A and B are shown apart, each in its own frame.
Chain A
Amino acid sequence: MNIAVCLKQVPGTTKVEIDPQTNTLVRQGIENIVNPFDTYALEEGVRLRERYGGKVTAISMGPPQAEAILRDALATGADEAVLLSDAAFAGADTWATAYTLSRAVDKLGPCDIVICGRQTIDGDTGQVGPELAEILGFTFVSYVSQVEEIDGEHMRLKRLMGERYEILEALLPAVITVVKEINTPRLPSLRGMAKAKSATIPVWGAEELEVDGNKIGLTGSATRVIKVFFPQRTQRAEILEGELPGQVDYLIDRLREANLI
């Protein structure tokens, strides 16, 4: 079974805060991390290989320093890794990203399953998985919480669709996006770390992927960001005062006046 896992390097947002005085981002030595949702995707890929055999290839598109998350992926069980990096890829929207990833999946050879996290924590769109499936012509199943069984050409999956758990049968090859309850990602092994340290991670650019230059990066993106701004968070709570019972009465009065309760 050939499994590809898509990973993205993102800024570690837990350290990102807004300075209320200057209304700018406070970045205390911002550190880049692997998108947390993608660690569940990688773990599921490794578990499927352990159950059914085959190979797990970790793919990331990003700047050269994104190689770091691919080394981590090798240390936690991926067999191979490839970095898609080229100045021409910068500024890609979800479609151009999905297109670039699809060229890499094609180049890797026959693929049975592509696994992605449900969304990234920086862009938050969750669109690359479904768009990638459509471009590859693969089956797509979102929000997978359990891979129950893979049997020949099919797999049986459990997924969380809003409030509803669904059991689906899906034809391979398929792209799935996974939610965090699917597994608990393992820590890197000593052997894995040694392997990761010495591994050569190929870097594929626009030339190696033989991509259409009009479909990548900013040029290939149908959408354009025209403005980025900080959300208004000027509202400060009216902190209620006095004895607690009085505060509770006051609160209920305000909520009743506003027809909220």
Chain B
Amino acid sequence: MGLLIDLDKCIGCGQCIEFCPFGALEMVGGKVEVREGCTLCGACLDSCAYEALIIEELEATPAADESYRGVWVFAETKDGEFSRVAYELLSEGRKLADARQSELGAVCLGHDIGAVDSLIAGGADRVCVVDSPALADFPEDLCARKLAEVILEYKPEIVLAGATALGRSFIPRVAAILGTGLTADCTGLEIDPETGLLMQTRPTFGGNLMATIICPGKRPQMSTVRPRVFKPDAPDQTRKGGVIRLDFNSEGVTSRTKLLSFVEDLAETVKLEDADVIVAGGRGLEKPENFAMLEELAGALGAAVGSSRPPVDEGWVPYPRQVGQTGKTVCPKLYIACGISGAVQHLAGMQTADVIVAINDDPAAPIFEVATYGIIGDLFKVVPMLIDRLKNG
């Protein structure tokens, strides 16, 4: 098993060397050789116009269990309501289920879960509800075990969950219990018309590369999906669907973690992940007091305030406001970047926004490469003008 070079086909053009993210390919005597460090990521395969690179596997992948049918969405709740991402996934899940001519289900776990009609209006044919006082604080271990149990019983072939803090912490455990594959933080989902497999596309390498991943031999095929990538459908109140209430037997079961207390960090402001409009500031803001100006602009727009990494590192704004690879990933309709140069790590967290406005005095700033509109100028002049026009028409 490994990456093989077909020396008859390799012409020594070196194209694949440029593509290898790990620097594991080198030219030796006019042909490419694989060095230590190859992770079999496959980035080089498509780069070769001569099909000289092959990843050889020991055995053919075993066929998947055909008894798995349908698409399921894990409907996350927050403060007693379903998260927006649940509706986004239902909308996308509906398309996948239709492509597979199968049912779309939603599953939710917790306590005092109210009406689930909205999930049916959002596209679900069936909703499974596990409601128990033992699940009130969403103990992740108990919920993971229960969700795995329900999946084994109902056998959906695809399970989608939001790539939220909870989804990315909790869903990998479900996948590990089920012994199946999980693709993190997807931004694209599609059914391969030939194989019927779910093709899951995600950014990797800090957003520098995109990878399409499949799970051919295990079921279900599982993905966490980045919030705000898909648009929720308008609710259809005439849709009909079934509701299944499942028991949770809490006898003799204790969670290994106990929630003692919590504090909302940004309780009073619009949450970044949920915001339609985000105003973000970077090093160009120069000092913490200047974020007040962004708050004012955000107020005029009904927007949330975000930040690139330097203001967080400098202690001007708290970490939960950081957008980027090591902070939050956002996908608003409008992102206004003020004094942000646009390091690739920042772009990784916001470049999927519908419209990006960049305000920066450096015309060479990389932020202009992803922006829709750019104003090259002093943000201390531009931002007050924007506030004035928005407030006074």
Contact = CB atoms under 8 A, between A and B. Distances in A.
B368 A156 contact: no
B325 A121 contact: yes
A127 B172 contact: yes
Interface in B346-370: 351, 354-358, 363, 368-370
Interface string A9-23: 001010011100010
A122 B176 CA distance: 21
Nearest to B43: A228
B277 A261 contact: yes
A93 B181 contact: yes
Given A140-B173, A228-B43, A162 B165 contact: yes
Given A126-B168, A165-B262, A238-B373, A95 B205 contact: no
A171 B256 contact: yes
A87 B176 CA distance: 24
A254 B182 contact: no
B40 A90 contact: yes
A223 B199 CA distance: 11
Contact of A141 (B22, B257, B374): B257
Contacts of A249: 389
Interface in A104-118: none
A187 interface: no
A17 B369 contact: no
A163 interface: yes
Interface string A205-225: 000000000000111011111
Interface residues of B, number: 107
Given A130-B169, A165-B263, A237-B358, A261 B210 contact: no
B374 A122 contact: no
A248 B263 contact: no
Contact of B206 (A121, A248, A254): A121
B253 interface: no
Q: Is the interface of B mostly helix, strand, loop or mixed?
A: mixed
A191 B371 CA distance: 50
Contacts of A125: 184-185
A123 B43 CA distance: 13
A53 interface: no
B209 A230 contact: yes
B301 A261 contact: yes
A6 interface: no
A226 B214 contact: yes
B374 A231 contact: no
B27 interface: no
Contact of B209 (A129, A131, A228, A245): A228
A37 B327 CA distance: 12
Chain A CB count within 10 A is highest, among B257, B271, B301, B334, for B257
A183 interface: no
Nearest first, the 8 A-B pairs at minimum CB distance are: A91-B40, A222-B181, A237-B374, A134-B176, A237-B371, A223-B181, A142-B169, A125-B184
Given A95-B179, A180-B319, 6 more contacts: A16-B206, A164-B262, A171-B257, A221-B181, A222-B179, A240-B375
5 contacts: A130-B173, A169-B258, A223-B213, A230-B210, A235-B370
